[in-house]
Amino acid sequence: MRAIVVGPMADYSTYDVAVGWVEGLRANGVQTMHFDLGQRMLWYLRAKVHDDDGNVTREMDGDEARQAVTLNLIAEVYRTQADLVLIVHGAHVWPPYITEIRCPVVWVATESPYEDEAQAYTIAHADVDTILVNDPTNQGVFEQIAPTFYVPHAYRPDIHRPDGPAKEHTDVCFVGTGYPERVELLEAVDWSGIDLALLGMWESEVDDSSPLQPYIRDGWCIDNTDAVKWYRGADIGLNIYRQLTTGEHSTADGWAIGPREVELAACGVFTLRQHRPESDELFPFLPAFTSAEELEYLIREWLPRPDERARLALKAREAVADRTFPNHAGRLLGRLFG
């Protein structure tokens, strides 16, 4: 069996999801090609359009590049005689062209529930066979388009594990984008005497005068293989859900845990979390906070308790043990091909 996994435009976060699916399918014996959409999009966006006299008139616009890269995908499907195409994120493919693919097409909607309106609109024009959502809040909307399944965020077993190299030791670590609500929450914490490490998109989101500036260790997008090194060096990990949404029919009130939460658990990191129904089901033993005051209290309460942290971190790791990409890929193949 042959499969093509279509990656996203981004080279972080959702890119790691694409790599995870490539690894997961290969672990199930599937010959899998990673179609790096991001690199192809950049090539087309930089391509020059010439007039009849050979003069450069302009570069491709975004829609033209999306059409070109999707035609490139269709060519790869026929060249490799693929039995399955799995699209991760998918914001930069040209949906009408996806309908030309004759093998099963699976769309992994990675942005639920925050961007469900845009995701549903795009997928509805692509005529896919199966949709996978990472949060079931609006699953019913997607089921009107194609058979839809909730597939939790997963971790990569070879990467997300407790053993392995670690960065410098820190008291608290948070990896993620510095959305305004996250900045507001963390700025309200008194970090004196606490060594905080902020990784991800922070440089462009935080003012120079922000009290968080000294704690930004890497203020730009961070690769997952680097993120796990910071996880392993931290006594406490943080999970803070984003509130930014796109479209009036999207929501930030999700049910499922996020990607960082499962990665932290898989790496054996004791984590302070915000409440969500699935998080409360999986990790009732991990402390949760609803305010900056509670967060600060919990950090200072748990830093001096390494043995208890280790015991609870082990329980969290056991709670997500089966949430791997190979397991997800095996279940998907069973649904599609029996």
Q: For the chain, 338 residues long, give each residue's pLDDT as a single digit of tens.
A: 999 999 999 888 899 999 999 999 999 999 999 999 999 999 999 988 888 888 887 888 999 999 999 999 999 999 999 999 999 999 999 999 999 999 999 999 999 999 999 999 999 999 999 999 999 999 999 999 999 999 999 999 999 999 989 988 999 999 999 999 999 999 999 999 999 999 998 988 889 899 999 999 976 788 888 999 999 999 999 999 999 899 988 999 999 999 999 999 999 999 999 999 999 999 999 999 999 999 999 999 999 999 999 999 999 999 999 999 999 999 999 999 98
Do 179 and 155 touch, CB atoms closer than 8 A? no
Structure token pair of residue 268? 């054996």
What is the model's pTM? 0.95
Do 74 and 63 touch, CB atoms closer than 8 A? no
Domain segments of the chain: what residues?
2-154+323-337, 170-319
Q: What is the pLDDT of residues 200-244, one digit of tens each?
A: 989 888 898 999 999 999 767 888 889 999 999 999 999 999 998
CATH code that applies to domain 170-319: 3.40.50.2000
Fold matches, 2-154+323-337 and 170-319 = yes
Query: In this structure, which CATH number among 3.10.20.740, 3.40.50.2000, 3.30.1370.60, 3.90.1150.10 belongs to the domain 2-154+323-337?
Result: 3.40.50.2000
What string of H, E and C letters represents the secondary structure of the chain? CEEEEECCCCCCCHHHHHHHHHHHHHHCCCEEEEECHHHHHHHHHHCEEECCCCCEEEECCHHHHHHHHHHHHHHHHHHHCCCEEEEECCCCCCHHHHCCCCCCEEEEECCCCCCHHHHHHHHHCCCCCEEEECCHHHHHHHHCCCCEEECCCCECCCCCCCCCCCCCCEEEEEECCCCHHHHHHHHCCCCCCCCEEEECCCCCCCCCCCCCHHHEEECCCCCHHHHHHHHHCEEEEECCCCCCCCCCCCCCCCCCCCHHHHHHHHCCCCEEECCCHHHHHHCCCCCECCCHHHHHHHHHHHCCCHHHHHHHHHHHHHHCCCCEHHHHHHHHHHHHHC
Burial 92-105 (b: 16+ CB within 10 A, else e): bbbbebbeebeebb
Show the CA angle centred on residue 54, arms to residues 52 and 55, nearest 5°.
Answer: 105
Alpha-carbon torsion (79, 82, 9, 26), positive or negative: negative
Mean of pLDDT over the chain: 95
188 vs 142: CA distance, rounded Å: 38
